[in-house]
Structure 1
Amino acid sequence: MRQVPITRQGFESLKKELHQLRKVERPGNIRAIEEARAHGDLSENAEFSAAKERQSFLDARINELEYKLANAEVIDPDTLPKDKAVFGCTVVLENIDTGDEVSYQLVGPEESNIKEGRISVESPLGKAIIGRKLGDELVIDAPGGRRNYELVDIV
């Protein structure tokens, strides 16, 4: 089994989702199946079909979360060196051409969310950043074209 790096926050978020699915969503779905079954002929019962489909989705997601939690390697970013970009740290990049700054936290694939400024260490951008030191220049081929950045801060 391959260990998947994750922050404590990401681990707790997955646990919370799993708890919600097991204790709220799945029991509610079971009740929906029972109610739909009570309506009679299952061959033409759209409610029953939808509830069974939802049950399959919930079971698959529960299994996926259980696997991810079992294989998670929780890493505390505070224990890692700050002299280079490593998992869990937040980096500030300055666009060399425009002077604009962006910051990203380097996280595992399970907790990446670009809108929240968290990128996976396995993404092309994450791979370009990981291991870099202050002052290093990065050339990143983005969908909008090539961009040149300088790593100006590691938090």
Structure 2
Amino acid sequence: MAKVSYYTEEGLNRLKAELNEMKTKGRTHIAHQIAEARDKGDLSENAEYDAAKDAQGLHEMKIAKLEEILSTARILDESSIDTSMVAVLSTVKIKNMKNGAEMSYTLVSEEEADLKTGKISVGSPIGKGLLGKRIGEVAEIKIPAGTVEFEVIDISRG
């Protein structure tokens, strides 16, 4: 059985819009490329035609993956989030125990993760390490650079 993923309403709508774009404009664009390449003559030695057909296959694979993601996607009711511990869609303020630096992240699904906006995946090493922690607890998180300790300072919703 497929794993259920939880999204914000905004994140789920963005995925639906991306799928719609791929099914309409994306497919039309690739069909146009294939038609152009076909018009250039012998298909057995036409590299442009082969490349366009490969692009079509990759595009359809991406559509299938997105449809699979959407089939198991659920909107998480943000009002039901327990702020006594870190969970999906929690915004958590943490302090690096080694250098004292404080950071704030919102834990989201893998597809919604965007470090620039402070959204990290619950599947990332830091996301996994913070899940279930309460204010005042220290999470020892193994990252590629070694082990880091973060103290949970605050937990809030979105």
Is TM (by shorter chain) over 0.5?
A: yes
Does the CA contact (< 8 Å) of 2:95 and 2:102 recur in 1?
yes
Cα distance in 1 for residues equivalent to 2:118 and 2:79:
18
Question: 2:22 — aligned with what?
Answer: 21
CA shift at 1:8, angstroms? Answer: 1.8
Mean Cα displacement is larger for which, 41-50 or 107-116?
Answer: 107-116
Cα displacement string for residues 32-76 of structure 1 (whole angstroms, at most 9, x for unaligned residues)? 111111111012212211111110011001111111111112213
Is the partner of 1:49 in helix, strand or coil?
helix
Cα RMSD (Å): 1.5
CA displacement, residues 77-133 of structure 1 (integer Å, 9 cap, x when unaligned): 333121111111111110122110112111112222334322222232212111111
Q: TM-score, normalised by structure 1?
A: 0.91
In the alignment, the residues of structure 1 paired with residue 82 and residue 130 of structure 2 have an alpha-carbon distance, to the nearest angstrom, of: 15
Q: Which residue matches 2:106?
A: 105
User: CA contact under 8 A between 1:90 and 1:104: conserved in structure 2?
Assistant: yes
The separation in 1 between residues aligned to 2:67 and 2:82, in whole angstroms, is 31
Confirm whether residue 63 of structure 1 aligns to residue 49 of structure 2. no
The size of the alignment, in residue pairs, is 155
- Residues of 2 paired with 1:106 and 1:23: CA distance? 32
Partner SS for 2:52: helix
Does the 8 A contact of 2:125 with 2:143 survive in 1? no
- Corresponding letter in the other structure for 2:104: S
1:1-12 map, 5 Å: 1=1, 2-12=3-13
Q: Percent identity?
A: 37
What's the offset of the Cα at 1:148? 1.5
Matches within 5 A, 1:40-79: 40-79=41-80
The range that moved more, 124-133 or 4-13, is 4-13
d(CA) in 2 for partners of 1:109, 1:93? 20
Unaligned runs of 5+ in 1: none
| TM-score of the aligned structures, taking structure 2 as reference length | 0.90
